[in-house]
Amino acid sequence: MPSLARLLGLAALAVSASAIIPPGHQGALNQTVNVSENDTPTTDNESIVNTIGQVNQKSGAATHSTPPSAPVPPTTVTALDSSLTNTTLTDVASNSTAPSSRRRRSRPAKRFADDDLLPAKRQQSSYTQVFSGLAPGVHDASIEGTAYLTYTVVPNSTYNVDACLDWCDTVEDCVFVNLYYEFNDYLLDFVFSQQSNLVCAAYSDIHNATEKINFGGQTSYPQVGNETVPLTYITQSSGWAADSLTEPEDPDGYTLVFGPTGGANNAPGYMGFAFLSFYDVDGCAALCNGRGADPVGGGCSYFNIWRAVVDGTPTTYTCSMYYLVANETTAVNYGQGDLVVTYSRGYSRNNLVIDGGFEGYNACDDFCLTESYANWIGSSPSGGDYDASIIHFQDYAHFGQSSALLGAAFGDDADAGTLTPAQKLKTVAGQTYVVQVFFSSSFSSEELEGPAKVDILWNGKRVGGTSGFVASYTFTQSDTVVGTGSDVLSFVGGAAPAWTFVDDVKVFEV
């Protein structure tokens, strides 16, 4: 026998529920849910510019800490959100849902083959001299610049430019070499087996004579008795640049939106930035994938990578991340003062869901709803009515004008609806993905929304969801799922008046 208090409670519930105008009749929300793209943060170019003034990515072959032809080191993150760092991509992007062993190496450590092992059809690039060395015998300087890859020594019987350029062709991403003699270097003279002091240093960016700043002057030979140790010095330092720069391949799971241009994005949905040791689009994609979701905007969906040139010198490679997809119309930050933006490219993260924001449903100016349209299908169990629907009404939407609703739109029944994309997702078999979505279960009231529940199903299997009252729109990410090549995503739930709104559905490769 129910207590009097419980009976009164039920009566109160019935009264308040019946007083609610359901979403299908354009009822008022108990809690405001919509956010506007225009209210989101835009690129903090000031912080980027300040950090460019602090970072130092200059490097060269001058200190031979490794023998010639060592593998190219992996990309490092030299700054993260205005703090200088010196960490690997993996450390920074550890938030990525991908198991680290599966993540593609952004810059595979490369072993240099012996000459007779080189691929037969090796591509022979042509090079142009950027600057020449000073006369033999005159002390010169080697380059200290960004994007230093590795070095080798080439036979020093002559000033062997060809051997240096040929070697550059074998180094992934090499577009520039600095060739010079280095004297009084103990390792070159006595330790390394090549027995040559003609150094060829490879870079993945082009430098010029203004960056000849390493004049040697170190002691390298051991002290013997009280003899004066000779200091290192450099002669005939020349620079050679590849004539054609290769277009980077799109990173896995991304598509080039624009570029290269001289304008960085000044766009909404900004999530922060990092500086990289190389112009590494795969590295920037890894950071975007690993970036923690923004509570308002969700996961990183777009990045802008560009090279900062300060006083004519390449200084760093900026990776800016966004939860809203931008394009060239906002790529209007060309630099200021000594800073020039170069090689700016934008990449959007491929969302396998077509029209995940339901914006394709715009059959009216203000308010209308449907069970299905070209991109999404809502269905009800037999006897149910509008248990899953798509509503065009800005007040109910997260971003944009439209969103989806689970639970009878007109409040006629308490059945769970099913919402699914009209087309199966064209995944890659064996590839892992996550589902990202915003849910809001706060239409009626905290009390009435208590039983709210929506499951995210991947080929019918539950991989995540939401339950209970959810104030405003809240970001939710599923477990990692595996693609089969053609997959069915669905959202199942709702039981009016425990309605749940669904918006901005994304399926991203991880």
In the complex with ligand NAG, the residue whose CB is nearer, 385 or 446, is 446
Tell me: does residue 46 bind ligand NAG (CB under 6 A).
Answer: yes
In the complex with ligand NAG, the residue whose CB is nearer, 266 or 480, is 266
State the nearest-atom distance from the C-beta of 84 to ligand NAG, in Å: 9
The amino acid occupying position 135 is A
Tell me: does residue 195 bind ligand NAG (CB under 6 A).
Answer: yes
Choices 96-104, 332-340, 353-361, 475-483; region in contact with ligand NAG by CB under 6 A? 332-340
Q: How many other C-beta atoms are found inside a 10 Å radius of the C-beta of residue 50?
A: 11
Interface of this chain with ligand NAG, residues 432 to 451, rule: CB under 6 A: 445-447
The set of residues, in sequence order, having a beta carbon less than 8 Å from that of 143 and lying 6+ positions away, is 60, 178, 201, 203, 207, 211, 212, 213, 214, 237, 239
Interface of this chain with ligand NAG, residues 142 to 161, rule: CB under 6 A: 156
Burial of 313 (0-12, 13-18, 19+ CB in 10 A): middle
Choices 31-39, 350-358, 466-474, 478-486; region in contact with ligand NAG by CB under 6 A? 31-39
State the nearest-atom distance from the C-beta of 459 to ligand NAG, in Å: 28
Interface of this chain with ligand NAG, residues 451 to 510, rule: CB under 6 A: none
In the complex with ligand NAG, the residue whose CB is nearer, 125 or 208, is 208
Judged by CB under 6 A, the residue of 312, 381, 468, 485 near ligand NAG is 312
Cα angle 281-287-290, degrees, rounded to a multiple of 5: 140
Look up residue 421 and give its two tokens: 């994309």
Find residue 433's DSSP bridge partners: 481, 509
Judged by CB under 6 A, the residue of 166, 169, 189, 250 near ligand NAG is 189
Of 100, 94, 91, 53, which Cα lies nearest the Cα of 318? 53
Choices 114-122, 170-178, 193-201, 475-483; region in contact with ligand NAG by CB under 6 A? 193-201
User: CB–CB of 503/470 below 8 Å?
Assistant: no
Tell me: does residue 49 bind ligand NAG (CB under 6 A).
Answer: yes
In the complex with ligand NAG, the residue whose CB is nearer, 225 or 430, is 225
Measure the CA–CA gap between 65 and 59, rounded to whole angstroms: 12
Tell me: does residue 66 bind ligand NAG (CB under 6 A).
Answer: no
Q: Using CB under 6 A as the criterion, what x/- string covers residues 80-119 for binding ligand NAG?
A: ------x-----x--x------------------------
State the nearest-atom distance from the C-beta of 289 to ligand NAG, in Å: 10
Q: Which residue carries 């449907």 as its tokens?
A: 370
User: CB–CB of 395/459 below 8 Å?
Assistant: no
In the complex with ligand NAG, the residue whose CB is nearer, 125 or 156, is 156
State the nearest-atom distance from the C-beta of 372 to ligand NAG, in Å: 25
Instruction: Map residue 195 onto helix, strand or coil.
Output: coil
In the complex with ligand NAG, the residue whose CB is nearer, 348 or 427, is 348
Tell me: does residue 197 bind ligand NAG (CB under 6 A).
Answer: yes
Tell me: does residue 329 bind ligand NAG (CB under 6 A).
Answer: yes
Dihedral angle computed from the Cα positions of residues 286, 289, 291 and 294, in that order, rounded to the nearest 10 degrees: 160
The bridge status of strand 388-392 relative to strand 368-370 is antiparallel
Judged by CB under 6 A, the residue of 394, 422, 426, 462 near ligand NAG is 394
**Number of residues in contact with ligand NAG under rule CB under 6 A:** 34
DSSP codes of every residue in 101-163: TTSPPSS---PPPPGGGS-TT-----EEEEE-PPPTTS-B-EE-BSSEEEEEE---SS--HHH
229 sits in which H/E element = none
Judged by CB under 6 A, the residue of 136, 292, 381, 485 near ligand NAG is 292
Tell me: does residue 42 bind ligand NAG (CB under 6 A).
Answer: no
Strands (E), 279-421: 302-310, 313-322, 335-336, 339-349, 368-370, 376-379, 388-392, 402-406, 417-421
Measure the CA–CA gap between 120 and 243, rounded to whole angstroms: 22
Judged by CB under 6 A, the residue of 54, 129, 210, 255 near ligand NAG is 210
Measure the CA–CA gap between 199 and 160, rounded to whole angstroms: 10
In the complex with ligand NAG, the residue whose CB is nearer, 131 or 410, is 131
In the complex with ligand NAG, the residue whose CB is nearer, 29 or 428, is 29
State the nearest-atom distance from the C-beta of 342 to ligand NAG, in Å: 8
DSSP state of 385: -
19 sits in which H/E element = helix 4-19
Tell me: does residue 208 bind ligand NAG (CB under 6 A).
Answer: yes
Tell me: does residue 223 bind ligand NAG (CB under 6 A).
Answer: no
State the nearest-atom distance from the C-beta of 428 to ligand NAG, in Å: 25
Q: At residue 133, what are phi and psi to the nearest 5 degrees?
A: -80, 165
Binding site for ligand NAG (CB under 6 A): 30, 32, 34, 36, 45-46, 49, 86, 92, 95, 156, 188-189, 195-197, 208, 210, 225-226, 266, 291-292, 312, 327, 329, 332-333, 336, 394-395, 445-447
